[in-house]
Structure 1
């Protein structure tokens, strides 16, 4: 799993060392050499586990999908963000941390009460 791009759908083969990486930043962290830039890119789909090549000079809208399983691999990258959350005990033991989204209805509040409408209407 890539720690730089949360929704990575493909792995990329680096043309310089012929190793598979999730993104260019993963290659930079794990290698002692810069990434060799190339127009011919080799991908491995994470859904069907099959490899395919794409020429980035002739990249069209139909090239955003895996040719084997039609997995859409060109997505907006989601980067991890720091967040502060409260951790509690196991909710099966103590459910006080859970918020109940249901709303209690205390009955209809109306000037017309349906229960005794026959008496009021005559």
Structure 2
């Protein structure tokens, strides 16, 4: 698991040491030599577990997908946004903070109800 790239879809084979890494930062942390850069890159899709090659000089929008399973492995980065919210317990466990706006319906009455006027049918 890569701690630098969230949801990494492919592993990249480094041309210098022939090992698989999720990103260049993972290679830098684990190896003592610098990453050798080449134009031809070898990927391994994490969805279908198949390897494929891509030329980095001629990289197009269609090259963002695995040729075997069409997994989109180039995902746009998302910048975290600040948000103000009310912190509470999980509402599925404790729902006292939520107001129920639903209209309460009357239960279906039957002939066997012990309420008054039940004997009147119709």
Interval of TM-score (by shorter of Structure 1 and Structure 2): 0.5 to 0.7
Give 1:76 deviation, angstroms.
1.6
Moved over 4 A (4+): 98-102
Root mean square deviation of aligned Cα: 3.0
CA contact (8 A) 1:10 1:44 kept: yes
Highest RCO, 1 vs 2 (Cα 8 Å, sep ≥ 6): 1
Give TM-score, length-normalised by structure 1: 0.68
Structure 1 alignment gaps of length 5 or more: 81-85, 108-122
2:101 maps to which residue? 104
Shift of 1:7: 1.6
- How many residue pairs get matched? 98
Instruction: Could you tell me which runs of 5 or more consecutive residues in structure 2 were left unpaired when the two chains were aligned.
Output: 81-86, 105-122
Q: Which protein shows a greater Rg?
A: 2
Q: TM-score, normalised by structure 2?
A: 0.68
Between the aligned partners of 2:51 and 2:96, the Cα distance in structure 1 is 45
